[in-house]
Amino acid sequence: MTERASETGVRSSIRANIVLICALVANVGIAIAKFLAAGITGSSSMLSEGVHSLVDSGNQILLLYGQHRAKRPSDMRHPFGYGRELYFWAFVVAILIFALGAGISVYEGWQHIRAPEPLSDPTVNYVVLAIAMLLEGTSWTVAVKEFASVKGDLGCGRR
């Protein structure tokens, strides 16, 4: 492998981690905002959303872990390396999103069918929505910029 190819691989790895770390920070910030809003308003749907954002944060951690494990060099037991392990951890993430998100939503929904809450002032929810838009927008912008820099002249779209 040439020095340039090796350097490009290292930069791509760092960039991939930057995107995941940025998404992790955004999801943690959103989870905090949602949990605070749930505490202020007593809203179970906001609590469910907070748990959803927390699960998303855990997913980012699992993907970072999968990237770390996939980089291990090949050995006698795995002569082609551990690259496929990243797909396993991505699968675990998908299962967690479905199981935890659905489970908590069904539980909270059932609780509020049995004992509905009166509507309250939605201002706190709008503040959380604005915070989420800001953090997710920042994370998305970082991801798009990193994708464009790695893509280079390949494919379509502006650079």
More confident residue, 88 or 6: 88
- Helix (H/G/I), strand (E/B), else coil: 128: helix
Contact 90, 63 (CB under 8 A): yes
Contact 143, 23 (CB under 8 A): yes
Sign of the C-alpha dihedral, residues 134, 135, 137, 142?
positive
Give the pLDDT score at 1: 46
Residue 31 CA neighbour count, 13 Å, CB half: 14
Residue 4 CA neighbour count, 13 Å, CB half: 0
The model's pLDDT over 42-86, given as tens digits with 9 standing for 90+, comes to 887 788 889 888 888 988 888 888 888 888 888 888 777 788 787
Give the pLDDT score at 46: 87
Quick one: how many helices (H) and strands (E) in the chain? 4, 0
Contact 62, 92 (CB under 8 A): yes
Confidence of residue 158 (pLDDT cuts 50, 70, 90): low
What are the distances in angstroms from CA 20 to CA 26, 67, 94, 114, 140? 10, 10, 16, 39, 11
